[in-house]
Amino acid sequence: MPERKIRVLIAKPGLDGHDRGAKTVATVLRDHGMEVIYTGLHQTPSQIAEAAAQEDVDVVGLSILSGAHMSLFPRVRAELAERGLKHVLLTGGGIIPREDMEALEGDGFAKLFGPGTKTDDIAQWIQETMRARWTEEEVEA
């Protein structure tokens, strides 16, 4: 049986134009064998949740360098929940102070990554987390 591919949506919420990180991570995740959909810039929280639903993704990764994370990240989380996508692995990164990361990690975000993170570490973390989830699901089934 072919190995199930992890489907990831990389998204840029808000008006922030800094997409170097998002695009680099998207490319690296693809190199690691994942199916990656990149939303492009300037997405509203509802557009992102809609894309996540339509693309039936396992993971949503948000990138923000504009300081608006405390407003936009929770709104994306809420929009996902509204569409019944609470199970989606929610992650992200950017210029986010550590205390904000901790707050968001206590609020539906599995893990956030800051500047200097190795992209391979992100890929590995996603793979391990998803593998663990799928194994759990199999056991439950």
Partner 1 sequence: MSETRVANHSKTVADGRRLWEEALREARLREGNFTTISGAPVKPAYGPGDVDVDYEADLGWPGQFPYTRGVHPSMYRGRLWTMRQFAGFGTSAQTNERFKFLLDHGQTGLSVAFDFPTLMGHDSDAELSLGEVGQVGVAVSSLADMETLMDGIPMDRVSTSMTINGPAPIMLAFYIACGENQGVDPKLLRGTVQNDILKEYQAQHAWLVPAEPALRMITDVMSYCADRVPQWNTISISGYHIREAGSTAAQELAFTLANGFEYVKRGLAAGMDVDTFAPRLSFFFDSHLDFFEEICKFRAARRIWARHLRDEFGAEDPRSWMIRFHTQTAGVSLTAQQPENNIVRTTLEALAGVLGGTQSLHTNSMDETLSLPTEKAVKIALRTQQIIAEESEVAHVADPLGGSYFIEAQTKRLEDEAENYFQEIEKRGGMVACTEAGYVQREIHRAAVAYQRALETGTKRVVGVNCYTEDLDAEPEIDLHRIDPAVEREQHDRLEALRKRRDSDKVRSELDDVREACRSGGNLLERFVSAAHAYCTLGEIAGVLREEFGEYHEPKIL
Write the burial class of residue 118 (CB in 10 Å: 0-12 exposed, 13-18 middle, 19+ buried): exposed
> Based on CB atoms, which residue is closest to partner 1, 53 or 68?
68
Distances (CA, A) of 38 to 7, 21, 23, 30, 104: 11, 12, 8, 11, 22
The H-assigned helical ranges of the chain are: 20-31, 45-55, 69-82, 98-105, 119-140
68 within 8 A of 43, measured Cβ to Cβ: no
Place of tokens 């990764």: 61
**78 part of the interface to partner 1, by CB under 8 A:** no
Stretch of 53-61, 81-89, 118-126, 131-139 lying at the interface with partner 1 (CB under 8 A): 118-126
**70 part of the interface to partner 1, by CB under 8 A:** yes
**97 part of the interface to partner 1, by CB under 8 A:** yes
Q: Select the residue interacting with partner 1 from 4, 5, 15, 56 (CB under 8 A).
A: 15
> Cα-flanking dihedrals φ and ψ of residue 93, to 5°?
-170, 180
> Based on CB atoms, which residue is closest to partner 1, 100 or 133?
100
Closest CB 67 distance from partner 1, rounded Å: 4
Binding mask 28-57 for partner 1 (x = CB under 8 A): x-------x-x-xxx-x-------------
**120 part of the interface to partner 1, by CB under 8 A:** yes
User: Token digits for 112?
Assistant: 């956030």
Binding site for partner 1 (CB under 8 A): 14-20, 23-24, 26-28, 36, 38, 40-42, 44, 66-68, 70-72, 75, 95, 97, 114-116, 118-120
